[in-house]
Amino acid sequence: MFIVNSYFLAIVFCFITMLCWGSWGNTQKLAGKTWRYELFYWDYVIGVLLLSLFFAFTLGSIGENGRGFVVDLAQADWKNIGSAFLGGVIFNAANILLSTAIAIAGMSVAFPVGIGLALVLGVIINYLGSQKGDPVFLFLGVGLITIAIILNAVAFKKASSGNQKVTTKGILVSVLAGVLMSFFYRFVAASMDLDNFVNPAQGMMTPYTAFVIFSLGVFISNFLFNTILMRKPISGEPVKYKAYFNGKMSIHWMGILGGIIWGIGNSLNLIAAGKAGAAISYGLGQGATLVAALWGVFIWKEFKNSPKSTNGLLTLMFVLFVAGIISIIYAGQ
């Protein structure tokens, strides 16, 4: 299987993850003009599953190092399979809430608050599970990003002062999504032998196999989580499955594309974790917050009619995010 052998390449992969995780939400924004996010999300999880299988039978099945996907799956312990599957279930619950927050509050709020919080808690959780990297610079970066999250919430409150109900709901859903999101990666990482992808321990899985099991957890749990959300939505009227099957193929492809974009980022992040460590790999990937906020502010104009004081807060938020990401990268040197 393909394995990352240098820290520099691992960081490059993490930056690609950052771009992918911070950009998939654009497909929801585009589809959301005519398509409910609950319906979009079905296509999204299909895209994630398809991408995981594609990588498993290509990058995960070539080369002399590691174990090929089929062989690796056959020897995996049920404990590790269950861990990766549970990671998918937890992620799915969090991501459905994040999709809801995007629909309510926009990308420039849902990502910095939700994913930013997931970054802070997730780095701590993953560092405790696999202590790799300088803790001083790692947690300095986390601290800077925490301040950036607070500034973003303040900016959104200023921008939405005339619509307090939506503001409060959007932030609360984003916070709940972030808390849940912080836990999923640890369960996936625990199913892999992060110290040795070349000759992984018996019973543990390669990142390619772990991602497939994770994706199955997302897909299967969606029949429960998304069905509940369709019947009792957090925002808007209930929606029926009939509406999904009546949708045009072009709108279905938009959701599948969103899942593929996110899946590419997740695959590269898990591959990079063997060299960079779970905490650093996860932390940099969740720098997607910055990417999504940029999309929300400059492309979707989500702060278009905000007070002038909001611009200063947003600028400082971006500066602190960048400084925090740089600090996390340095932690792994």
Tokens standing for residue 196: 């040795």
Taking CA atoms, 261 is separated from 82, 177, 180, 238, in Å, by: 25, 20, 21, 28
Q: Which of 138, 170, 146, 176 is nearest to 157 (CA)?
A: 170
pLDDT, average across residues 97-109: 77
Q: What is the mean pLDDT of the chain?
A: 88
pLDDT score, position 256? 97
CA atoms within 13 A on the CB side of 198: 3
pLDDT, average across residues 228-244: 89
166 pLDDT higher than 50: no
Q: What is the CA radius of gyration of the chain?
A: 19
pLDDT, average across residues 25-54: 92
Cα–Cα dist 9/180, whole Å: 29
pLDDT score, position 107? 66
pLDDT, average across residues 35-59: 95
pLDDT score, position 151? 83
Q: Among the listed ranges 90-94, 134-138, 328-332, which one has the minimum average pLDDT value?
A: 328-332
pLDDT score, position 164? 47
% helix, strand, coil for the chain, step of 5: 80, 0, 20
Q: Say which amino acid occupies 234.
A: I
pLDDT score, position 165? 47
Percent of the chain with pLDDT over 70: 96
What is the pTM for the complete model shown?
A: 0.86
pLDDT, average across residues 197-222: 96
287 pLDDT higher than 60: yes
235 pLDDT higher than 60: yes
Q: Among the listed ranges 93-97, 122-126, 210-214, 307-311, which one has the minimum average pLDDT value?
A: 307-311
Q: Say which amino acid occupies 35.
A: W
pLDDT band (50, 70, 90) for residue 167: low
Task: Provide the terminal-to-terminal Cα distance of the chain, rounded to the nearest Å.
Answer: 25
For residue 288, report the phi and psi dihedrals to the nearest 5 degrees.
-55, -25
159 pLDDT higher than 80: no
204: helix, coil or strand?
coil
pLDDT score, position 286? 77
Q: Which residues contact 48 (CB under 8 A, 6 or more apart)?
A: 215, 218, 219, 259, 260, 262, 263, 266
Cα–Cα dist 72/330, whole Å: 33
Cα–Cα dist 282/207, whole Å: 14
